[in-house]
């Protein structure tokens, strides 16, 4: 099943009640240069994709101070798609990084921000099931960027020449 990715992401953001907040904390960017009549929509598992994106987006909001910015970017390449969630939040200490995707792990700087430590374990599992990759780039006090890259198994738009 192919997926209308733009609609999917917009629905997801609306669902998370992120669109109509007063300060519009979430900035939604979509790099759609590769979309057009020649680019078939990506075939992704929408349930897994929902797990991945809703956890990353809700973390980005939760671990950011009021008025922070969260940028969500979708980049298309020929054979893969990349989702980037960048926040200007509390960041993650390097000593916490090795255990970041473990079940129930919460980092030392969470203070009284509530959470159970399940979200990123689910994200990692979902990315693995897609045969994808997740990377994190973070600086304490400045913010965190998670990037998820998933392979696209789209059929070629032009049949091979015999
Ligand atoms: P939940 O199960 O509700 O998602 P959680 O948010 O605590 O709880 P995870 O989403 O698995 O759990 O995240 C694990 C830990 O990683 C968090 O407790 C937090 O310490 C840290 N973390 C995750 N995302 C961010 C982020 N964007 N900025 C800073 N720290 C983060
Ligand atoms: Mg979480």
- pLDDT: which is higher, 17 or 108: 108
Atom of ligand 1 nearest to the CA of 118: 2
Nearest ligand 1 atom to the CA of 120 is: 11
The residue ranking higher by pLDDT, 59 or 24, is 59
Distance between Cα 34 and ligand 2 center (Å): 31
Token digits of residue 126 = 């979902």
pLDDT digits (tens, 9 = 90+) for 79-101: 888 899 999 999 999 999 999 99
CA angle 4, 23, 100 (to 5 degrees): 65
CB-based burial of residue 120 (10 Å sphere; 0-12 exposed, 13-18 middle, 19+ buried)? buried
- Please, are residues 116 and 55 in contact by the beta-carbon 8 Å criterion? no
Ligand 2 centre to CA of 43 (Å) is 26
d(CA 106, CA 134): 18
For residues 162 and 149, give the distance between their C-alpha atoms in angstroms, rounded to a whole number: 33
The whole-chain average pLDDT of the chain stands at 83
Are residues 68 and 27 in contact, defined by beta-carbon separation less than 8 angstroms?
A: no
In percent, how much of the chain has pLDDT > 90?
A: 46
Provide long-range contacts, Cβ within 8 A and 24+ apart, for 76-80. Answer: 76/31, 76/32, 76/33, 76/34, 76/35, 76/39, 76/42, 77/34, 78/34, 79/151, 79/152, 80/132, 80/149, 80/150, 80/151, 80/152
Encoded tokens for 81:
């798609």
Higher pLDDT, 41 or 158: 41
Query: Does residue 111 carry a pLDDT above 80?
Result: yes
- The whole-number pLDDT of residue 39 equals 56
134: helix, strand or coil: strand
pLDDT of residue 155: 45
In the prediction, which pLDDT does 65 show?
85
Complex confidence, ipTM = 0.99
Alpha-carbon gap, residue 86 to 145, rounded angstroms: 4
Report the predicted TM-score, pTM, of the whole model to 2 decimal places.
0.87
SS3 of 58, please? helix
Cα of 99 vs centre of ligand 1, distance in Å, is 11
């Amino acid at each position: 099943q192919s997926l209308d990715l733009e609609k999917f992401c917009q629905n997801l953001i609306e669902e998370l009640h992120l669109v109509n907040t007063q300060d519009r904390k979430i900035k939604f960017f979509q790099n759609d240069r590769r979309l057009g009549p020649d680019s078939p929509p990506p075939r992704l598992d929408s349930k897994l994709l929902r797990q991945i994106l809703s956890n990353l987006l809700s973390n980005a909001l939760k671990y950011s101070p009021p008025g922070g910015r969260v940028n969500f970017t979708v980049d298309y390449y020929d054979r893969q798609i990349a989702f980037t969630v960048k926040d200007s939040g509390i960041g993650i200490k390097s000593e916490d990084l090795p255990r970041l995707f473990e079940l129930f792990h919460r980092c030392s700087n969470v203070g009284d921000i509530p959470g159970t430590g399940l979200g990123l374990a689910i994200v990692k599992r979902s990315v693995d099931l897609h045969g994808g990759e997740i990377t994190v780039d973070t600086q304490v006090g400045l913010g965190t960027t998670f990037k998820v890259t998933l392979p696209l198994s789209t059929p070629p738009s032009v049949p091979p020449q015999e």
